[in-house]
């Protein structure tokens, strides 16, 4: 099993020996964030530093937010989001990466909008991103999101991706988001598992998107690992953790221990035990 982690903005990450420290701690791949504003020189310098550390950039989390919303009713906002995601795919390609992770919308739960209105706009945006990314060999992964955003359910994700070539598109399974609706989490994972092409592994207690280490919350890891067995997904397990307690790299040994002692059991789904 290949284990990776999200490491934030590349501009911050290339300062110091962070890449070498992550690799020394045992990570094999990383997901970087955004990649906006990096010129060719910085990209090339980053590529060389990452390669020298024997790490691989696997994915980029494309930018998102109120002003970068792929299914916004506002054409200008939508267009800016598409451009930013296309640029993220191009820059990722320069770094040797394979997957651009997309949010289908911002949270719109407090407005009168609904998923039906947003769906066709997201599909149009996705088409424009795939047009740019696919020829580069970069796949577009639509992430399952929290309640109140497009992509919160398996049905919505399937509707977004319907008709798109599975060679160029798929789902980023975010385990934390899936279990913010605890009763439906395992079912959602089972349903989307065949289309998963990348992952965000983290835990929570079913109320807030806490981004804890697997085992620290109430996510049904047996259910996740059973659904995401190696018959359906062989890509990297990417940890997406938020830590307020200092140096992020300190978490890497914990991630690897969890991956080795628990997550590797998905190879034999019938013997999966709980993580706690
Ligand atoms: Zn995520």
Which pLDDT score, from 0 to 100, does residue 105 have?
94
115 alpha carbon to ligand 1 midpoint, in Å?
Answer: 19
Residue 140 within a domain: yes
Identify whether 276 is part of a domain.
no
Residues 6+ apart with CB under 8 A from 255: 3, 5, 27, 213, 239, 241
Instruction: Tell me the C-alpha distance between 155 and 188, whole Å.
Output: 9
What is the pTM for the complete model shown? Answer: 0.91
pLDDT mean over 34-59: 86
- Spatial separation of the C-alpha atoms in residues 89 and 139, rounded to whole Å: 9
**Higher pLDDT among residues 100 and 223, named by residue:** 100
Angle 229-235-240 (CA atoms, 0-180°, nearest 5)? 95
Q: How confident is the model at residue 275 (pLDDT cuts 50, 70, 90)?
A: very low
- Establish if 227 belongs to a structural domain: yes
Mean pLDDT of 245-259: 71
Q: For residue 267, name the pLDDT band (cuts at 50, 70, 90).
A: low
Q: How many residues does the chain have?
A: 276
Domain membership flag for residue 266: yes
Tell me: pLDDT of 273 over 70. Answer: no
Task: Indicate whether 267 belongs to any domain.
Answer: yes
Domain-embedded: residue 95 = yes
Torsion of CA 105, 168, 166, 179, to 10 degrees: -40
Q: Three-state SS for 64? A: coil
Give the whole-angstrom CA distance, residue 215 versus residue 276.
Answer: 5
- The rounded distance, in Å, linking the Cα atoms of 102 and 132 is 14
Task: Report CA(174)–ligand 1 centroid distance (Å).
Answer: 5
Q: Which domain holds residue 195?
A: 3-271
More confident residue, 2 or 111: 2
In this predicted structure, the answer to whether residue 199 has a pLDDT above a threshold of 50 is yes
Q: Which two tokens stand for residue 266?
A: 């998905």
- Cα 40 to ligand 1 centroid, rounded to whole Å: 27
Has residue 232 been placed in a domain? yes
**Has residue 72 got a pLDDT over 60?**
yes
Give the CATH number for residue 103.
3.20.20.150
d(CA 73, ligand 1 centre) in Å: 23
- State in Å: Cα 30 to ligand 1 middle: 14
Residue 137: C-alpha distances to residues 22, 28, 167 (Å): 26, 20, 9
Q: Which residue has the higher pLDDT, 174 or 2?
A: 174
Distance (angstroms) between ligand 1 centre and the Cα of 195 equals 16
Helix H or strand E segment including 32: strand 29-33
- Give how many domains the chain has, as a whole number: 1
Distance 175 CA to ligand 1 centre (A): 8
């Amino acid at each position: 099993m290949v284990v990776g982690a999200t490491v934030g903005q590349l501009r911050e990450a290339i300062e110091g020996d962070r890449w070498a420290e992550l690799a020394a701690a045992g990570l094999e791949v990383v997901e970087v964030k955004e990649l906006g504003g990096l010129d060719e020189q910085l990209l090339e310098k980053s590529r060389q530093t990452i390669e020298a550390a024997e790490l691989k950039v696997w994915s980029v989390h494309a930018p998102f937010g109120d002003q970068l919303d792929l299914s916004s009713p506002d054409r200008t906002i939508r267009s800016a989001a598409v451009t930013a995601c296309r640029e993220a795919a191009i820059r990722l390609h320069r770094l040797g990466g394979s997957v651009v992770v997309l949010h289908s919308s911002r949270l719109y739960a407090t407005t009168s909008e609904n998923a039906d209105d947003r769906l066709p706009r997201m599909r149009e945006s996705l088409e424009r991103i795939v047009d740019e990314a696919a020829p580069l060999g970069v796949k577009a992964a639509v992430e399952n999101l929290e309640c109140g955003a497009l992509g919160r359910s398996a049905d919505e994700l399937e509707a977004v991706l319907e008709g798109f070539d599975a060679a160029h598109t798929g789902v980023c399974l975010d385990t934390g988001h899936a279990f913010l609706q605890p009763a439906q989490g395992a079912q959602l994972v089972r349903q989307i598992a065949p289309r998963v092409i990348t992952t965000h592994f983290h835990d929570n207690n079913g109320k807030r998107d806490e981004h804890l280490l697997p085992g620290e919350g109430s996510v049904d890891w047996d259910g996740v690992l059973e659904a995401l067995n190696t018959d359906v997904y062989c890509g990297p397990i990417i940890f997406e953790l938020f830590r307020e307690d200092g140096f992020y790299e300190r978490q890497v040994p914990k991630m690897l221990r969890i991956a080795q002692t628990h997550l590797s059991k998905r190879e034999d789904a019938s013997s999966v035990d709980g993580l706690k």
